[in-house]
Structure 1
Amino acid sequence: MPELEAFFGYMYYAALRPEEVLHLPGRRVRAAPAQRGGGWGVLHFTGSTVAVGRDWGDGDDTTEDRELKHRAKAATRDVPVPPPLVRLLDHRVKKYPPGSNGKLFVTRRGPGGRYLPTAGQPIPNNTYGKAWRDARAKVLTPAQQRSPLARRPYNLRHAAVSLWLNAGVPATQVAEWAGHSVNVLMRV
């Protein structure tokens, strides 16, 4: 699914959790990269959109907007955006504008490959999970598919954190960008 390229790009380049990607508002995402020169940007994260069962949430929906994981309701986090993600964002917004709820990643349907925003529901876990499994099956050898290599989309977040650490970024900075403690960073 080409419309999920930027979804997975956020996880890899910005070490976001899937629920943080689903929470991204379309209108602020485009403006943020232009704040810095050289093609780099900074994204400001304010919350997450989590999947909940109909009987487990505060309302009738199967998703809820919440604070960042293990953070206070008003907590935010800034993450650097490298040029490849800036390009993915620009392409995403041009080709797939935000949904009626203003969020960047919403369900889309349409005949003949034409994608239209629906009621603005977040992309379901099983949709991006299936797209990941399909892509993995297409590009990996049978032996690689049996291995834990990129087993689930969340592994992109781990790859981003590992890339930052291997590039020499201090562990305290990586932990801040990833939204967890140095202890969790070094254990996981």
Structure 2
Amino acid sequence: MRPAEVVGLREEDCYLPEMGWGTLTLRETRPVSGKKWTDSGKRHDKRGLKAREVNSDRPVPAPPLLVEILRAHIKEFGRAKDGRIFQNERGDVLGTFSYWRVWQEARPIGLPPDKVTSLLGRRPYDLRHTCITNWLNAGVPVAEVARRAGNSPEVIHRRYEGCIDGHEELNNRKIERAMGWGEDD
């Protein structure tokens, strides 16, 4: 999910079963524009999903670990008055600086030492890029990656083609086998 989609996520839009995969139905974004640039006069305007029809939604499968984390988060922190799962200490929309600050503290704990200063560790949004790349690495079809990420297959091809990290050796072996240069299997 995009950070602006996450901050708009409401409990009622989540199917969080006791076990197994859940579903997060994204319905809005809360991008940060600044008070001078929004219709509401607040830092975050409520908007529809990127590149979607007005009032459309996007169901996103949620793996069991994420379901468990979200259930625990809701139990511990509750939700905002409007049902949003993530809120700041005043119950308002969670700002980018808040999750940026948490990310700065979490990345040395959650990432291997060689990745802390890599592109993966730079910004919270880069985790989205890494996730999409990992799905492609895992062999998930481009159309399914695009559906889950809320992009078109063309965007996935254009943006993520060639960004797969750590596969050069594997690809070299595939080419060697195809050319008849590699060892026999």
TM range (shorter): 0.7 to 0.9
d(CA) in 2 for partners of 1:82 and 1:61? 33
After superposition, the C-alpha distances for 1:60-82 in whole angstroms (9 at most, x for unaligned) are 21111101012121221111111
- Shift in Å at residue 55 of structure 1? 1.2
Q: What displacement does 1:144 show?
A: 4.7
* Alignment-derived partner of residue 19 in structure 1: 4
Amino acid at match of 2:2: R
1:144 to 1:76, Cα distance in 2 relative to 1, 3 A: closer
Measure the CA separation in 2 of the matches of 1:125 and 1:156.
15
Compare CA radii of gyration and give the structure with the larger one.
2
Equivalents in 1 of 2:42, 2:52: separation in Å? Answer: 23
The answer (yes or no) to whether the contact 2:142–2:153 under 8 Å persists in 1 is yes
Alignment correspondent of 1:176 = 147
Q: 1:139 to 1:162 in 2, by over 3 A?
A: closer
State the Cα distance separating 1:138 from its structure 2 match.
5.4
Residues of 1 paired with 2:24 and 2:110: CA distance?
Answer: 30
Greater strand percent: which structure?
A: 1
Give 5+ residue unaligned stretches, structure 2: 160-185
Which gives a bigger RCO, structure 1 or 2 (Cα 8 Å, sep 6+)? Answer: 1
Gaps of 5+ in 1: 1-15, 109-117
- Cα distance in 2 for partners of 1:140, 1:169 equals 23
Identity fraction in percent: 36
Which residue of 44, 63, 70 maps to 2:51?
70
Q: How many residues align?
A: 159
Give, in angstroms, the shift of residue 142 of structure 1. Answer: 7.7
CA contact (8 A) 2:24 2:61 kept: yes
CA contact (8 A) 2:16 2:71 kept: no
Q: Which moved more, 1:71-80 or 1:171-180?
A: 71-80
1:149 to 120, 127, 152: 120
8 Å CA contact retained: 2:13, 2:26:
no
Letter in 2 for 1:72: E
RMSD, matched Cα: 2.1
Does the Cα contact within 8 Å between 2:7 and 2:84 map onto a contact in 1?
yes
Q: Secondary structure at the match of 1:133?
A: helix
Partner of 1:12 in structure 2?
none
Q: By how many angstroms is 1:146 displaced?
A: 4.1
- Residue aligning to 1:28: 13
Do the aligned partners of 1:20 and 1:49 also contact (CA within 8 Å) in 2? yes
